[in-house]
Chain A
């Protein structure tokens, strides 16, 4: 198998970096939501927000990069519906990676707590303090997150199925070292 990268190294790095951050940010969010108010909770709340802002920034970089560096089309035979499903999940994941940090930021503003990135850079409050709106955005933030959790499970399951069941090169596109090893 010849090593032709479907995604650039930058795109691959951004994919895994964002994946890693999401895998930290999500559980931190779940844990802190269930905690009683304490200094540790305030710390986790801040870390969660900083991580979320970082994901948002990286996503913007990733989208710009993707527009400038179109990945090669997937050259794997599969049913049409699977192609469509894959495309839909990818688009939705991009939308959620954008909408989730945004809803978190807005909900924080509406609840009257400004987001200060890394404790240094205050982000503007786009909404005035409004309890009802804050609760609504909080509910939205949760729904979007549960949706993303389900999509990520589907995304990972599909990637593993392609690699271990179909044994095609789909996962190798995002993990080139797997291809290198099998090609030897």
Chain B
């Protein structure tokens, strides 16, 4: 009898393992953002990042994510802007080369929507963030799409003259599109 239960548990765990996605497709996954400069939405992206994600669409609440973004890989819209945002008053990549997100909990919001909560560390400051996302399975590929608003001044991104939010808005929309196998 114990053997029988063990066998069922083993089968169940196999079933669960089969539906779990953990291989992030780096080439097709993107982290982009939209900042507002003088009310003009300007798109940007981080070209290099690593994401370790494990998630089972049948049980997303158990999912975990750990992302590390190489801040020097930023494309802020122009060469001039790329140089500027790596500097001291923005990301200060010489001292803080990476941004990090570690998830702490995932909850269902209903209607196929979920929310990941976790800690975001940028420029030596750690803040709680919440990122709503959706899941879509298609032919063995799981797409995780989400967006959230990050307040750049919470992390001291764009200090001094640049802290004028009438020029560059405090709110920056971060969008992530992760494809997992």
Contact = CB atoms under 8 A, between A and B. Distances in A.
Contact of A42 (B38, B41, B43, B83): B38
A42 B39 CA distance: 11
B168 interface: yes
Nearest to A121: B39
Q: Which of A37, A38, A116, A120 has the most CB of B within 10 A?
A: A37
B39 A119 contact: yes
A3 B168 CA distance: 53
B167 interface: yes
A53 B122 CA distance: 39
Given A37-B81, A39-B161, A42-B167, A115 B40 contact: yes
B12 interface: no
Given A112-B43, A119-B39, A120-B39, A37 B80 contact: yes
A15 interface: no
Contacts of A119: 38-39
A37 B40 CA distance: 16
Contacts of A46: 38-40
A148 to B, nearest CB: 25
Contacts of A161: none
A116 B78 contact: no
Nearest to A134: B78
Interface residues of A, number: 15
Contacts, number: 39
- Report whether over half of chain A's contact residues are helix, strand or loop; otherwise say mixed: loop
Nearest to A38: B161
A112 B43 CA distance: 8
A120 B164 CA distance: 19
B42 A112 contact: yes
A42 to B, nearest CB: 5
Contact of B77 (A39, A113, A115): A113
B84 interface: yes
B42 A113 contact: yes
B13 interface: no
Nearest to B44: A112
Nearest to B160: A39
A45 B38 contact: yes
Q: Which of B78, B161, B168 has the most CB of A within 10 A?
A: B78
Given A37-B84, A112-B42, A42 B37 contact: yes
B77 A116 contact: no
Contacts of A120: 39
B14 interface: no
Interface string A105-144: 0000001111110011000000000000000000000000
Q: Which of B38, B43, B78, B161 has the most CB of A within 10 A?
A: B38
Interface of B: 37-43, 77-78, 80-81, 83-84, 161-162, 164, 167-168
Given A39-B164, A45-B38, A112-B42, 8 more contacts: A37-B80, A37-B81, A42-B168, A111-B78, A113-B77, A114-B40, A119-B38, A120-B39
Interface of A: 37-39, 42-43, 45-46, 111-116, 119-120
7 contacts: A38-B161, A39-B162, A42-B37, A112-B42, A112-B43, A114-B40, A119-B39
